[in-house]
Structure 1
């Protein structure tokens, strides 16, 4: 069993095809997926998809690209929306200095709001970090000093120092199709060296399709391709990577029912 811990099923790329998309994922061994919110003001669309499909869960939050237009959304509103049974994470929120689509102060402000929502709910914060390693590390250290919160660095493509800072602070690290790209040797070196009990896999679909699908629309079924490269990178079997990343997922995303545990309880 694999889990796509981060995709965007509400995006128009998948309109009219979501049932088939989810069926293809299941056929590829991807039993669960989390569709990630990028606009709190559009959360209803994300929630509706999670409600429609038993094996789809969701988050609530504002992507750093949208931090300027959704500035001022209070912690209490995010916490209230997160009470829905299908909401299992906060975010994605973070810092993106590559595109700089929102003022950096708005991105940092939004990140801190989402961190507090994660603290209050106990739900993991999905962190977006691009070309902002130093500022991200500084904010994470400062905020963790105010009180712990669960989190993961999603679609990791940053430097080794941020990965190690995340591990030190108790975060998880998720790898996407970027791991499979030919020029991602440095990223694979990082993935090889991180603790096995902190690794997750994802697609970030519809973006970042792994090799050999690079350049085409990504979808949750392709989680298996990234997992295969992660297994090869770490010198273990694909079955072992599937087992470990799925265990890690349920340890972090505690609100998602674990089918293995439900089966054990039913058998007792």
Structure 2
């Protein structure tokens, strides 16, 4: 009775199995490759009567396991280095060098630093390694801008690289097209304005006694309303003067007129 109880264990289940205390490595892992490498090396060192074909197979398997161990070790060390030194800071440094604005002065992140405090030190001791000094060095202001721009995506980084001004206001620095309001008035409007001004000056220069003169006939009033009280010769003279003045204005300020 007691033997059956001991076989069943503490939970009373006879099918319960106790662990042997040995960890079995997973096939294909670095630990399994190391164990298999040690076992092959022991077999080759203890048994000198192994046939040549089996020895060749064991040597090829041993070389394959060593290559797997080296690759796994490198990947593990690479992951540790990325988590220790690189990560976000390294990627921001890379984006800083690639997407720094072309129109602004570039400040290097990995410049060589010289120490002049110790006069007896050699040249090699005065120069600090660039990578080591860059870890503790203060980043330029543009580095923070690039770090915040990375969250917006690659398009924002390209816009940062191609921006025109340091404030980021590209619309203010870009040449503005000439609006229609700033264009000079058409030639016909300028001619009409000149004729109207001349008529006003003539009316102002007339004596006051003319106001008592008899009104003109209906036909003269109608023709005077259209021509402004000028005959054909005067109108032609005014048109020639107006054409000359407009041509002069076009030569001076009409270069940008579309």
Structure scoring higher RCO (CA < 8 A, sep ≥ 6) equals 1
The TM-score normalised by the length of structure 2 is 0.18
Structure richer in strand, relative to its length: 1
Structure richer in helix, relative to its length: 2
Work out which of the two has the higher radius of gyration on C-alpha atoms and give 1 or 2.
2
